């Protein structure tokens, strides 16, 4: 037992088992003692034994020999009967007391022995019952950020302790996944933030290395640095938005998904004309409650993602409304084919499909193949990769998912058989 620690639960369980056994044994002993005491006869026994009849016969003979008259004889005989009854009653009472005394002593001795045995058995049973708890405690002590792979994997009957162990294993698995995702996110964020810094440093070094720097070269360097700064600023803003959405919404205000979709399409108008893509809208009122800044960023990311990861002269469809008590926005776009197994990965931070992270002009090679520069493969599909792209931060759909979860909503992504992606976001509708 550790210093300053109370009695362990195993000892408390043992004491509880022993106390209950002693209480039940005492009640059983009292009931048995009472029944035996009640069953033993305390009345005068009938004088039916040989010694009793011999005693009466001898007493009557003496009475007849010594008594004078019939009255004296009757009185003597009565005295003989009374003395016999008194002696028999005394003997019976003595035997009864002896039997009850022996019963009590033997029962108490047996109860004491059984109490000791029950304490030992209770100690063993409590230890066996608490064995899974010790395993859970050991796993909890061994768990750390670097060691979350251990599992209890408790076997045995499907009882409460196994349920507790399975729940603890599931919690460790979730923590392991969360820490791995966090480490991957930090590494990816560091890499993404290092890229614009490298671009700026390279531009400066190359320009300064030229002996005769012209005004045009300096302006070109400044332009490259400005583009790198803009990319770093966009990435930092996206990271801050993602952190804010992971923390949860700060407020809940009435908003309309249709209005937010119109604003996002207006903001994306230059990119839509530059691609160009055809936009089709079916905007019906989609009233919801949420953080207006986060939900606006969600809608903006959906529209920007559909326009950016498209093909020249492609199409974008945007629809809003209310369905099943949920306000929704659906954004679909054309593009390269996406593998079915790659769709869930689109919501991971900095995860891009090589066919969906191409340059703004959406260049496609003559043979129809595309690599990390935004071309499509020969079979028209896009392969998954963590490709660097100056177009986007790689956090668009991650922010969409995080904002939706912060508002207790849902995100559903479906690949289109003809190429492209369809993303639906559902948020709880505004009551009334």
Which H or E element spans position 199? Answer: helix 160-209
- Who contacts 55 (Cβ-Cβ below 8 Å, separation ≥6)? 80, 84
Q: What is the pLDDT of residues 260-308, one digit of tens each?
A: 999 999 999 999 998 899 999 999 999 998 888 889 989 999 999 999 8
What gap in Å lies between CA 313 and CA 316, rounded to an integer? 10
**Residue 2, pLDDT above cutoff 70:** no
DSSP 3-state of 307: helix
- Pick the most confident of 8-12, 17-21, 78-82, 192-196: 17-21
- Who contacts 289 (Cβ-Cβ below 8 Å, separation ≥6)? 252, 253, 254, 255, 428, 430
Side-chain-side CA neighbours of 54 within 13 Å: the count stands at 3
Q: Give 360: exposed, middle or buried? Use CB within 10 Å, 0-12, 13-18, 19+.
A: middle
What gap in Å lies between CA 252 and CA 335, rounded to an integer? 35
**Residue 48, pLDDT above cutoff 70:** no
What gap in Å lies between CA 283 and CA 322, rounded to an integer? 10
What gap in Å lies between CA 267 and CA 302, rounded to an integer? 12
Sequence length of the chain is: 432
Q: What is the pLDDT of residues 70-122, one digit of tens each?
A: 767 677 767 777 777 777 777 778 887 888 888 888 888 888 888 888 888 88
Bridge partners (DSSP) listed for residue 410: 426
Contact (Cβ atoms closer than 8 angstroms) between residue 168 and residue 135: no
**Residue 391, pLDDT above cutoff 60:** no
* Through-space distance between the first and last CA atoms of the chain, rounded to whole angstroms: 61
- Who contacts 60 (Cβ-Cβ below 8 Å, separation ≥6)? 76, 77, 80
Q: Give 185: exposed, middle or buried? Use CB within 10 Å, 0-12, 13-18, 19+.
A: middle
Q: What is the pLDDT of residues 227-270, one digit of tens each?
A: 888 878 877 877 777 776 666 666 788 999 999 999 999 999 99
pTM: 0.53
């Amino acid at each position: 037992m550790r210093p300053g620690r109370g009695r362990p639960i195993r000892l408390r369980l043992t004491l509880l088992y022993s106390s209950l056994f002693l209480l039940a044994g005492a009640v059983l002993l009292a009931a048995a003692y009472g029944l035996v005491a009640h069953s033993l006869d305390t009345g005068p026994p009938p004088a039916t034994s040989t010694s009793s009849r011999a005693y009466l016969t001898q007493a009557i003979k003496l009475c007849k020999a010594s008594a004078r008259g019939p009255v004296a004889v009757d009185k003597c005989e009565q005295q003989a009967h009374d003395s016999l009854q008194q002696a028999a009653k005394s003997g019976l009472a003595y035997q009864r007391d002896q039997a009850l005394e022996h019963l009590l002593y033997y029962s108490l001795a047996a109860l004491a022995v059984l109490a000791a045995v029950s304490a030992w058995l209770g100690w063993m049973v409590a230890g066996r019952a608490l064995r899974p708890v010790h395993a859970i405690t050991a796993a909890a002590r061994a768990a750390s950020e670097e060691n979350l792979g251990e599992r209890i994997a408790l076997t045995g009957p499907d009882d409460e302790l196994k349920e507790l162990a399975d729940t603890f294993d599931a919690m460790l698995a979730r923590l392991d996944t969360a820490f791995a995702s966090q480490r991957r996110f930090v590494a990816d964020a560091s890499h993404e933030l290092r890229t614009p810094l490298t671009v700026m440093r390279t531009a400066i070094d190359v320009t300064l290395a030229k002996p005769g720097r012209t005004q045009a070269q300096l302006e070109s360097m400044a332009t490259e640095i400005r583009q790198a700064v803009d990319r770093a600023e966009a990435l930092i803003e996206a990271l801050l938005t993602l952190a804010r959405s992971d923390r949860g919404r700060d407020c809940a205000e009435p908003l309309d998904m249709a209005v937010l979709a119109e604003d996002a399409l207006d903001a994306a108008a230059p990119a839509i004309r530059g691609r160009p893509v055809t936009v089709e809208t079916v905007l019906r009122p989609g009233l919801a409650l949420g953080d207006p800044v986060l939900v606006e960023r969600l809608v903006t990311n959906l529209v920007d993602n559909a326009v950016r990861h498209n093909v020249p002269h492609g199409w974008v469809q945007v629809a809003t409304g209310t369905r099943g008590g949920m306000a929704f926005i659906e954004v679909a776009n054309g593009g390269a084919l996406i593998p079915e197994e790659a769709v869930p990965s689109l919501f991971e931070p900095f995860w891009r499909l090589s066919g969906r992270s191409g340059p703004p002009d959406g260049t496609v090679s003559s043979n129809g193949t595309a690599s990390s520069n935004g071309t499509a493969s020969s079979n028209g599909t896009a392969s998954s990769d963590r490709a660097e792209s100056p177009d986007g931060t790689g956090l668009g759909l991650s922010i969409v998912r995080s904002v939706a979860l912060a508002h207790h909503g849902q995100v559903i992504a479906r690949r289109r058989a003809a190429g492209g992606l369809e993303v639906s976001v559902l948020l709880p509708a505004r009551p009334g």
